[in-house]
A and B are shown apart, each in its own frame.
Chain A
């Protein structure tokens, strides 16, 4: 089933999709190379219907190449990918009829209005009765539907990109950095839409290097770096498994302030904490949890913004 770990360095036994459910996306040993450069090196994962799968990694990690293979733009060098049980090939209209893609690049028709853009792309899926107004209202563009896209701000274009990915009510949604560069209000609106789509039953592959967003939205995440998946699990399990749980204690020691970090995995942690709490100079006690970002950096040795 889902090989939760592709990296020999950091094996994981984290949560897998619920057994028995048919995955909407199934990837096995998928690989791609640009000339001599191996962009994706034999990755394996699955995404269930209704699941948001966070695909986390820095720029150049292999996220976009993976999406390109899954959406039929690139033919895999090795391995197989299935969308809704169908092996993905290059140019597969049957599969592409059921997917929605929100690109990182803002590739809209600038000289067309938002409604024209949505209607045109809906028509390519054979949809004639698209309620473009309703879709635009969902992304907060209800009052700008008739305006040309060339007059839109970056955030408005991004919201329109998300709306376009939804014109065919896709069963599998690929979102490549959908909130990149958005203001907090727009980001929140987009995150709500992603959650709604998953609740509707769509499988969502979300690539991001925003770990907070991934933590908030994803049912499971995969850490990808240098074309390899290092770990796949729920954010909670990853933090439990790889995070350093500790308590930071600040004490007044004579005239100076002393900080002490007590690792909870330390067998003597209980005794150390008890004595710290009982100490006269106790100032503050803070629990410290690892973030996904900390774990990613620890596992891959690479920062996400790189």
Chain B
């Protein structure tokens, strides 16, 4: 293989990329997919309740509010500014904590607490903010709660649906960028005859395949990471995540070459994709339906690339936790190499005989 020639073919593919609908779709899909999932299952249009506080005495209530992830807190300088923000619905509610408020509460006095709500705010947001404020006031007072609330979880502990859909989005990103882009690029070159034109120059078929594989790998790696970032699922170990996504991108780029070299034309490629993509895509369905027997997912080869990504990105697993799965993925990727070699030879023979 000639690395320099592969690079030249790759640069040509990158120049042609923005003119290809598949290439553009590979870039646009993660954004569109994430927006759709967040719209339906996530918090895209369900923002946190927004509370503004004018704290004139360094109250523990402010500190307590700051620690709560479910509330978006804004510290405001003056009561006038606060009421203006609430009136204009830039805040859902506003609270003025006068100097010495905490001491008055602890002494048993019942100071007046001014709590403003925006007329346009959701009732649910008002309720959340009011109840939270009362809880914090009680905590400052130091008195026990009048009742003990026993929280009973119903059903198995589950990740939110948006998190369970993240593997699907990531695998889609890997599939479009890693499989579709190199496969279509190769088939287009075959159909247009430009592959034949290249193969009578010093370029070898292996140089062309390597260029397509690198294109698929790089694009798949980039778009999978972008998808994870858009879904706020980057985990705690960037190196482990990069490795897991990289191994996934390698396997899917290889599958792209298998598809591309096995398909003499776009029609055959579509047929191949329609028949085989369910096998590639099946593992992510098991994240959506956790009641299904999860071991079945392991039958499918892409499980061994998507699960390490899921574990590292969503469940904060370490590299050691997923090393075994990544090794299996690398072995599967290595097994694909002879398949690609055989198919590419057959492709060349077919090209010449066409």
Contact = CB atoms under 8 A, between A and B. Distances in A.
A101 B2 CA distance: 21
Interface of B: 2, 5, 8, 12, 15-16, 19, 192-194, 196-205, 348, 351-353
A103 interface: yes
30 contacts: A72-B200, A73-B196, A73-B199, A73-B351, A73-B352, A74-B352, A74-B353, A90-B348, A91-B199, A96-B201, A96-B202, A97-B201, A97-B202, A99-B200, A101-B200, A103-B197, A105-B196, A106-B193, A108-B192, A108-B197, A109-B16, A109-B192, A112-B16, A121-B197, A123-B8, A124-B5, A124-B8, A124-B202, A126-B202, A164-B197
Contact of A91 (B15, B193, B204): B204
A68 B200 CA distance: 9
Contacts of B353: 34, 74
A68 B349 CA distance: 11
B163 to A, nearest CB: 40
A124 B201 contact: yes
Given A93-B204, A125-B202, A107 B196 contact: yes
B194 A91 contact: no
Given A99-B200, A107-B197, A120 B8 contact: yes
A73 B200 contact: yes
Given A96-B200, A99-B200, A120-B12, A68 B352 contact: yes
Interface string A100-121: 0101011111111000100011
A71 interface: yes
Contacts of B2: 93
A209 to B, nearest CB: 20
A71 B193 CA distance: 15
Contact of B192 (A73, A90, A110, A121): A110
A28 to B, nearest CB: 21
Given A107-B194, A124-B203, 19 more contacts: A34-B353, A72-B200, A73-B352, A74-B352, A91-B204, A93-B204, A96-B200, A97-B201, A101-B200, A105-B193, A107-B193, A108-B194, A108-B197, A109-B12, A110-B192, A121-B197, A124-B198, A124-B201, A126-B202
The 9 closest A-B pairs by CB, nearest first: A107-B193, A93-B202, A73-B352, A124-B201, A111-B19, A74-B352, A101-B200, A107-B197, A71-B200
Contacts, number: 70
Interface residues of chain A: helix, strand, loop or mixed (majority): loop
Interface in A32-70: 34, 68
A121 B8 CA distance: 10
B16 A91 contact: no
Interface of A: 34, 68, 71-74, 90-91, 93, 96-97, 99, 101, 103, 105-112, 116, 120-121, 123-126, 164, 168
Nearest to A72: B200
Nearest to B203: A124
A109 B13 CA distance: 11
Contacts of A168: 201
Contacts of B194: 107-109
Contacts of A107: 192-194, 196-197
Nearest to B7: A123
Nearest to A105: B193
Nearest to A110: B192
Nearest to A111: B19
Contacts of B202: 93, 96-97, 124-126
Contacts of A109: 12, 16, 192, 194
Contacts of B8: 120, 123-124
Given A107-B192, A109-B194, A121 B352 contact: no
B213 to A, nearest CB: 18
B299 to A, nearest CB: 38
Contacts of A164: 197
B128 to A, nearest CB: 55
A209 B97 CA distance: 97
A198 B205 CA distance: 31
B266 to A, nearest CB: 15
A4 B169 CA distance: 67
B140 to A, nearest CB: 68
Contacts of A116: 15
Which of B194, B200, B351 counts the most chain A CB atoms within 10 A?
Answer: B200
Given A73-B199, A120-B8, A111 B16 contact: yes
A125 B196 contact: no
B105 to A, nearest CB: 72
A120 B84 CA distance: 63
A90 to B, nearest CB: 8
A121 B198 CA distance: 8
Nearest to B9: A124
B27 to A, nearest CB: 17
Contacts of B352: 68, 73-74
A110 B196 CA distance: 15
Contacts of A123: 8
Contacts of A91: 199, 204-205
A72 B349 CA distance: 11
Nearest to A174: B200
A111 B21 CA distance: 12
Nearest to A148: B19
Which of B2, B201, B204, B351 counts the most chain A CB atoms within 10 A?
Answer: B201
